[in-house]
Amino acid sequence: MLKMRFLSFALLAIFVVGGLSAGSTSVLSAEKDGIVVKDAWSRARPDGAKVGGAFLMIRNKGDKTDRLLEVRSPVAKRTEIHESLMKDGVMSMAPIDDLPVPAGDKVMLKPGGLHIMLMGLNENLKKGHEFPLILVFEHAGDIKVMVHVKDAGAMSGGHKN
């Protein structure tokens, strides 16, 4: 009888844990060929907004520099890697062709610095929603993560080392 209860409990635990992981579609962190992409987030945008931004951390655990060449997402007609620049007291943004990720180092994409521009939004970015982002690296290739939409005024996605 005790053996039967234990077996029932074990099967229930496997079902519950398996069900939780099977039901989860979010990829909070992705790693391929030494490149780790994690903590992807975006700010909520008002209905009808045409642009948004995405922020994340990229860590290169490998022994050679890789480069982020392109970013794609179905939520936008166009995506670009951007940097924020301060010149003569005026802040501006400009696209960059690629983003080096040095071996053994990390690169933070955050508000006011390097970031991903989402232009021509195909859907509203609402707090609590998620959308896919595909980062294309020179060596690691495509890495897909889910971007979590936070409050419109969020300044951090909870990046940790």
The 10s digit of each residue's pLDDT in 58-88 is: 999 999 999 999 999 999 999 999 999 888 8
Question: For the chain, how long is the longest CA-to-CA vector?
Answer: 79
Sign of CA dihedral 140, 146, 152, 158: negative
- Where along the chain do its domains lie? 27-150
| Residue in this structure with the two tokens 């970013």, named with its chain if needed | 71
Looking at domain 27-150, its CATH architecture is: Sandwich (2.60)
Q: 118-152 pLDDT, tens per residue?
A: 999 999 999 999 999 999 999 999 999 999 999 98
Taking the C-alpha atoms of residue 2 and residue 4, their distance in angstroms, rounded to an integer, is 5
Distance CA 121, CA 93 (A): 18
Mean local confidence (pLDDT), 77-106:
94
Q: Does the reported pTM lie above 0.85?
A: no
CB proximity list for 131: less than 8 A, separation 6 or greater? 42, 73, 74, 75, 123, 125, 146, 147, 149
